[in-house]
């Protein structure tokens, strides 16, 4: 019985240590993001944070293009550059996930042939939309794990959502 209590305490401490590390990384990110001089630099800082903080294999920062009515990659890490630059998340994809206005963070399991994110080789992805002051979609930050490395990385779980929203 005491061993069970001890193990529960160890698990709770590990969980809190992990949350503290995330908090410190987000705090550091905030300081860097404020100093970003361009949107491109801000996007690059953001994808770097996602990789380091959430222990995912790849990350992308998409911005909504109002002229073309889709999301386009502004920065990414962990993807083949040519492949990710060709990915656009169109209005049908955006609508199907309820991201048009005030959507929530999503975690998706992907099939290897599912367009567009499954074609990047991802098996799982977390998506955090962000909005302008009017509640209109401005972009999405994504973190993912590939099919080939899903055994190496931890599964993306619901407990990451509050931190990922920041």
Neighbours of 53 (CB within 10 A): 22
CA end-to-end span of the chain, whole Å? Answer: 39
Nearest alpha-carbon partner for 91 in 70, 115, 63: 70
Neighbours of 95 (CB within 10 A): 10
pTM for the structure as a whole: 0.82
CB 56 within 8 A of CB 143: yes
Q: Which residue has the higher pLDDT, 19 or 47?
A: 47
Per-residue confidence (pLDDT) for residue 62, from 0 to 100: 95
pLDDT digit string (tens) for 140-155?
A: 999 999 888 877 777 8
């Amino acid at each position: 019985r005491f061993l069970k209590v001890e193990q529960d305490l160890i698990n709770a401490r590990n969980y809190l240590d992990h949350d503290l590390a995330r908090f410190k990384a987000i705090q550091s990110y905030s300081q860097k993001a404020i100093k970003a001089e361009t949107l491109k630099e801000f996007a690059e800082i953001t994808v770097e944070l996602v990789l380091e903080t959430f222990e995912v294999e790849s990350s992308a920062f998409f911005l909504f293009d109002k002229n073309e009515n889709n999301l386009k990659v502004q920065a990414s890490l962990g993807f083949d550059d040519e492949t990710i630059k060709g990915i656009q998340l169109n209005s049908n994809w955006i609508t199907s996930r309820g991201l048009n206005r005030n959507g929530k963070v999503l975690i998706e399991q992907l099939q290897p042939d599912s367009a567009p994110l499954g074609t990047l080789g991802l098996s799982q992805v977390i998506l955090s939309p962000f909005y302008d002051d009017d509640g209109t979609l401005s972009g999405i930050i994504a973190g993912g794990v590939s099919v080939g490395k899903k055994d190496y990385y931890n599964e993306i779980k619901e407990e990451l959502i509050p931190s990922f929203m920041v």
